[in-house]
Chains A and B, each alone.
Chain A
């Protein structure tokens, strides 16, 4: 059980004079729900980009599911991203000209084979079964975010990475999205949520606090109902 899905050893990210991340060391176990918290400019998005294989750290070692991703080239990073990570963005980032189900299928397509039935099931699971043939602009914000989640889940990633998943959502939709996360957690998915909102972080089982690129606290959320 206690296998580490993600390990960061002394990771730093330096853009010229700016030290976005400094000497972060962190390990995440399989099935964990971790929140990375911090205000704007604390380095949380940088961290998410490194973990999500979208940026390479300037220093340090990142191990994802037993692979040292900090040593990989761009092409291999793409493959890791495709096979192991499900990404959820604050701005949703859907492809405007594809329908909901097609937006899910495109992730399948890049991964292996597009399977419409499976994609529809994934939409069903996030409660979007009836909106499968709609274009993103015809969906509400909450629906778009649920679509993003469905897309992130479709390839059974080892790790779900969400960057401010509720940043653009109202409370009701935030609730829905959090409920989905709870279900995923219950099913054993590993989830990392990057957020500035204590409310969102409160759902997680473990919270890491960042400030000015440094990790200042790593605590287990004791109040959590289903810990």
Chain B
């Protein structure tokens, strides 16, 4: 879709034409949004903050998967395993090598990226369903590794972690950890937006859209297909590391295939091939069970509640709603929330006209 820019907004330099936020209004909205987020710990309760933190680290990991699935057109159903690998790596690096947690987080991302490159190597040759099965293998290999490698993961007991500390300041409460997550979200999303407007980002999209002509344009298919796994794993690793140092405990069972499917759900719902869509998808996936719960509580005692026993079935009702959301999005809005958001913006801009 062509970006809708207001009349009279002329760009007079190529620099102005290649900015991430194209109009003045979008930049103002960005600053207001960031300012509001910075005030969030003052305005919101503990629980709401923890939801925002969840959206943050899941959003980072979802963005990684979106670079792989949405931008490069590959598929991975083992993303949660890399998320877990990041979590364990960061915890292990801190405990065994004594590296400060603040450094462990990016290091975990790099280690995960390297492992991701290894598992991404088949992607240079496989496509579609076959690649999906290969990544499924990655999921199970890593899950099995987590369960067996007691030295690394603490085995069944799991692994305790510690809060990040920077110059004596501990990010050990929701109010402070929120800022750390926010900083990483901003860094990782800006990096992705930058990537997409430079050489290698375009190459990834070219590989997705038409790999034969991409090759004729001088793009090394094997390199970019593998690289996209590496970048996806980098994001998963950093998201996972934040998760580990937020929950302060990493359990082996958390990173199963269902979690991987949830990441795919975030990417589909948010919008394949959209940077901001990844965050929207993560927000949707975090908020949906909350809304379901809230809906069930609101209906408590009513005729519907009595007929369906909502109170008793709330746990699997949450799972079902997530599944239904993915299906409905695939049918009615395959381009996800990102496209819906663009349509809403266009609607306001053109009001009261429809076109």
Q: A and B from one assembly?
A: no
